[in-house]
Amino acid sequence: MAQKAKKKPAKMANRNIGSGETVKDDGEKYAVVNGVGKPVYPGDGVALNEAVRLATSLVSGAGLARIESDGVLTPGRLDSQSGTFQPAA
């Protein structure tokens, strides 16, 4: 009787963002916002690495905004060199 070929393990999807850059958690809370600055993800905010992950998977053209202590959203972007949030100029 012929032997069965061994199955190779399935490759898992790579969920890394960008080129494997590390996103530094600074303890602040962030929101995912659409093109006009409205939050697209409910809640009190998430950590920076989670906000980046959500922004890349939820909405085409989504951005990031830091949630300040008074609830105001400060729009910005992820600096690819340092992995930190940079407020928009």
Q: Using alpha carbons only, what angle is made at residue 36 by residues 31 and 42, rounded to the nearest 5 degrees?
A: 30
pLDDT of residue 81: 82
What pLDDT is attached to residue 74? Answer: 92
- Is residue 35 left, alpha or beta, with left meaning phi > 0 and alpha meaning psi from -120 to 50? alpha
pLDDT (tens digit, 0 to 9) for every residue of the chain, 89 residues total?
567 777 766 655 544 444 445 677 778 899 998 888 888 887 788 888 888 888 888 767 788 999 999 989 999 988 888 888 889 87
Q: What are 13's two structure tokens? A: 């999807």
Provide the β-strand partners of residue 85.
78
How far, CA to CA in Å, does 43 sit from each of 29, 30, 71, 81, 83?
10, 10, 12, 29, 24
pLDDT of the residue at 66: 92
Q: Measured between alpha carbons, how far is 69 from 83 in angstroms, rounded to an integer?
A: 22
